[in-house]
Every structure is written in structure tokens, then in C-alpha cells.
Structure 1
Amino acid sequence: MFKCAFLGCGPRAKGHARVYKNIQRGRIVGISDLDEKRLQAFGDEFGVRNRYRDAAEMLDREKPDVLHLVTIPGLRVPLLTFAAAHKVPLVIVEKPIALWGEDYKQIKALGEQSQTKFVVNTQLHFHGRNLELKRDVADGRIGEVRHIDVSARSTPLDQGVHVLELAHSYNGFSAMAKVFGNVAGGKNLASRQPAPDMAQAYIDFANGVHASFITGACAPIATKNESIYHHKRIAAFGTRGFVQWTMWWWERLVDGKYERGEHDYGVEDDQAQARLTEAAFDWLEDENKPHPTRLELNLVQFNAILGLYVSALRNAPVALPFDPPDGLYGALSFRLT
């Protein structure tokens, strides 16, 4: 039985915790938060006895195998470093993994030097219908893949990272070779996930597939729900047909046969979170089963987002991977505000 702990007991952490009722190989042994009221409420809701204001004390006493790090993204570098220093075997960290070039480079170096395994919580990868449609693509049911189209109506860091992971995984994690794009709107640069309000990019992959990436108010409306958070989607087009997933429905066309169906996003999301956690256990048990949303792959995707920012500033394509410059926040703020 894997021992699991939580650092951060806010609303998003509840999405991580509630799936443990359906997980057989792990149990929550400790939780930590600086907010006493939130800590106690979380512990009461999920039946966790060991509650800590001091995260170091929790790690020293409980010695968890897995740490769920569910805090604001501005704390990624110090808290990931903290977990690695305490020799936590595996950390599941919320997205986005970074904000700018500076913390991206620090986290990349930490991942290369640390014995701790890091998994980024892009759980859409594990949605049941996504797994099915990805198998269709991998098995060649839609023929040779020519184009992938992903979009979300929130910002590139808030929800764009989710759909970019889908583009990468639907394409078999082929290397990203080039990005050309633009950004607009500076309102969200002052948020906890500072990013342009809108972004659009064209991404070339090493295997010849091309992808379009659109986020913000310029992105397609994918469902009847008016909330900007309900429009994540991906479509993959091949020589024999296409597949498309949205948060509430899906469709598939193969050799002239069309299918369409609906699903409950909330139910699927909990199931996906459980699968993501179970895959972390698999990786701990077997080095030959690396996690599909591990840090190494997520940094490839985040590098493309940084490349998009630089492309917008230079009005030119950016070859990937690249070494992002410092100061992107200031440069984008000057341009957009």
C-alpha cells in the first residue's frame, strides 16, 4: 500500500483526494496547509487524521511515497525543490508546471538532477474517451495523420496546457520542431497564472504532422455551456477520417462511417484522476513503465508555449526545443498592456 500525502488543501486538491475511495493501492496518510480552517475542513471531509501546518514535519513523520503538490504555480520551484530535498519518491504536481523561462529552466535542471520522479497533473490524458480515440489514431484507423486541432477558451497556461498535452499524446509524443504564433490581451498577466488572454499558434512536429493551438476568446465554442472552462477540445484528421473529443461529447468518422456520443465530464474526470494516480504507482513499481504525463514530456510542451511567446514578440517562427530568454513577463507586459 503506497503512502500518499497532500501539500495544499484548496479546492483543486479535493479533485485529487476524492478519487482515493476508488484507489486500491494507495491511502492518504497526511495533509498539510498553512490555513488552519482549510486544513481541518479537508481532513474532516476525507477522513485524514494526520494534519500538519508544517509540511517538513509531515514529510519527516509520514515519509510518503507520493506527494500531491496542489498549490499556486508561483511556488513550483521552491516546493518541488523542497520535496526533492526530502527525498519524496514521486510528486504529482498541478499544472502549469511553470510560468516563464526563468522557472522553466530551474525546474528542468531540478528534474535532471533529482532522484524524485515528477508527474504533472494533466489528467485529460486519462479520460476514457480520449484513451479510446488515441488508440484509434495510433492503430491507424483514421489513416495517416495530417493535422491536429486543439483549443480552449481560457488562457494558454490555465487550460491551454491541457489541450497541448493532448496534441502531443495523440501524436505519439513526436518531438515538436517549430512554433509560429501570436498573442493578445494583457488582463490575465496580473493573475496567479499570468498569461496572455488569447494565443494562437501553428506547431510543426518532427513526424510531419502539423497542429493548430488556439486559446482564449478567439477559440471555438465547443459546448452549450457558457463558462469559458467547458470548451477544451481536440480533433485529429487523417487520410481515412477523423476523431474529435470535447468535454461533453465526441465524434469519429472512419471510412465513411460516422459515430457520435456524449459523456459526463465530471464522472470521466474523476476516473481520469484515478488512472493518473494509479499510473504513478505503476512507475514506482516498475522503471519500465514511465508515466505519460511525467515532467520530461510536460517540459517539452511548456517549451512550445514559451516558444509561442517569443514568436509573437519577434514576429517569426521559433525552432524547438529552444533556450527561452529571461524577461518574457516584462516583454509581454510592455506589448500587451
Structure 2
Amino acid sequence: MSTHIYNPFSDFRFDNQTCFLSGQPLRSADEQIQVFPHWLMRRFDLEDKPFKLLDESIRTYKQLQLPCATVVAERIAELDRQVEQAFDSGYRVVKDLDSVLLFQWVAKLVYGVVFNEIQAGIRQQLLSGEAMNFSQVLAHKFKNLHLMLQSLIMPMQFDGATPFSVVVAHVDNPQDTFSYRDEINTLVYSLRMNDFGLIVCLQDNGTNNIYHGEYLEKVNEQVLHPIQFEELCARYFYSAYLFSRLPEYTILPTPDRVYVEPMPLADMSMRPMFDHWQIKTFGQVLENFWKPWGYSLFEIIKNPEHPMSFLLDDRGDFIPANTISLAKE
């Protein structure tokens, strides 16, 4: 198996004639795969539902596609089969999945959305005649995400800290729940379905799990009410925004495999790794995650010293899900 690393950001190649992951030329326009796997779209009737891109244009889920060589598509299909089987089996099996496998599956979804966003941006640029204005910081993050996603098609070893954080929680979801979120600027993702919830920070070197260590310790193996899981998600999405580092990686390709090792996150300026947690800003994030239950920012931060929480009580103890009674349900 080749260990040649492909970097589409070196010449900004995001056409439909080149495999998105391997960079090899495609023989036919039919060599495409879905960003969201068929089984997931069928399960939750997503094919024709709207998906809004950053330029405000609307696609359907099934219109989000990736140009993909057959050999790469086969490897992704194999990954999808493993994940589908685990997701169908539920929390216990998902919890036992290799974290690298979960990272790969989520990374393919998120990068697939990124790829479609970039293509939309290129089309908009051609229509307007203006130069493409693309953040170098985002290009750096996406390039690293794409590189790590190539672990699907080449031997790759992550040395030292893993480049990502993964959380799998046991959630008492209503039947047919499907709640998906991603934030491509900070590369954080969440999914809630079946009897579990999944949070993945795709490029933080595990720091968000350390940052929220107290919460993870207290919710470990507990069954969460959906509003509790969404609160945990809000904490991760906000801390991913506060994360003040741009991770760098040492990449060592050898004939046998590619070695990837995170470089130290130390900063010469001595700036904290996470910016200051602002209660009001977090309250705004939480208000968004709690939309299904209708809690307003005013209610959430009415007492700024103890903002509303369904995860921990005022003593810092876990609130059992079966004791939660929501007036707004």
C-alpha cells in the first residue's frame, strides 16, 4: 500500500475529476460517493431534506457528494458497514469501538461538508469574478484533517497524544432521534441517535477531554437525559471555540507507514490554552442547544454565579436523568 501523502490545498484542487482523498485522476463522472452514507440517510429519511451551506445556498443531503476512486470508495464502504453495525447495536458496542475508527468516520463526514463548501465558494468566486479569499488558518486545519483521514487508505500511526477527542455517552433518546451538528471552523461534531450520543473534536490533541475532565468523570456510564447530553455538547462546542492553539504535527513518511506526532502545544506568549470562559457567551451557546426545550438566555443565566444546568447540581453532583422534570416538554 502506498504511503504517498496527497495535499489538495497545495494547488487548491477541488474538482470532480480527482479523487478527494487519494488525488488520483478519475475515469468517470460516476465515481462519486455520498458525504452522508446511504444507510444513515435512509434510516432517518434525510435524502431530500435541506442542508444549508455557509453561502446560504441550499442542497439536499443526497446532493452532498465527493469525487472518489473505486478503491477508496470500497474502503469507505467497509468503514460505513462497521459503523452502521455498531450504531444499530447501540451504546455498549459504540463505546467499545476503536476511537480511531470513530474519528475516521466523523472526519469523512466533516471533511465531505468542507469539500462541498469549498466547491460552492469556488463557483461563487467564478460568478463574481473576485479572487478566492480563503483563511490560511482554516486551510491549515483542513489540510491536517485531510492528511489524517488518509489513514483510511494508507498505514498511519499516531504517536504521542491522539490528535482528537472522542466522547461516547449513554443517552435515553426518544425513538427515531437524529440530531447532527458540526462546526467546521473549530472542527467539532456531535451526533445523537439510538441510545447514545457522540462528540468528536477532530483536531485538539485530546485537550477538550482534559478540559472537561470533571464532567466526564461524573457522567461516565450514567444514562443521560437528551437535555443533559445537549448541555455537554454545548460545553464542548464552546470550549472548541475558546481553544487558543493551532496544532502542528510532525509528519514522517516511511516506505511502510506514515508517522504522525502532535507537536507540543506550549506557547511562547504563555497565553492559556483556552481563553476565558464567559458565562453569558456560554449561555448563548446553551440556549441554541436547548432550543427543543425553549429555555431562554435570561432563564439560563438568571443567576450568573450558578447558571442553569441539568448535568450537575449546585454542589457539583451529577443529577440523575430520572429525576429531571422539564416544564417545557
TM-score tier, shorter chain, comes to under 0.3
Tell me: higher relative CO, structure 1 or 2? Use CA pairs within 8 A at least 6 residues apart: 1
Q: TM-score, normalized by length of structure 1?
A: 0.26
Q: Which has the higher strand share?
A: 1
